[in-house]
Amino acid sequence: MTEATDATQASTGELQTIVAARLLTQARSVFIGVGRPSTAALLARMVHNPDLVLVYESGTIGAKPYHVPLSIGDGELAETADTVVSVPEMFNYWIGTGRVQVAFLGAAQVDRHGNLNSTVIGDYGHPRTRLPGAGGAPEIASFCQEVVVIAPHSPRTFVERLDFRTTVGFGDAAGDRERLGFTGKGPTSACSPPGNPTPPTPRRPS
Dump pLDDT digits (tens) for 144-182: 999 999 988 888 999 999 999 999 999 998 899 999 999
User: In the chain, which stretches have pLDDT less than 70?
Assistant: 1-7, 193-204, 206
For the question of residue 57 being annotated catalytic, the response is: yes
Domains and CATH numbers, the chain: 11-99 (3.40.1080.10), 101-192 (no CATH)
Query: According to the model, what pLDDT value does residue 159 have?
Result: 93
Tell me which of 3, 14, 57, 146 is the catalytic residue. 57
CA distances in angstroms from 154 to 122, 150, 158, listed in the order given: 17, 12, 6
Contact 100, 91 (CB under 8 A): no
What pLDDT is attached to residue 110?
94
From CA 29, how far away is CA 206, in angstroms rounded?
31
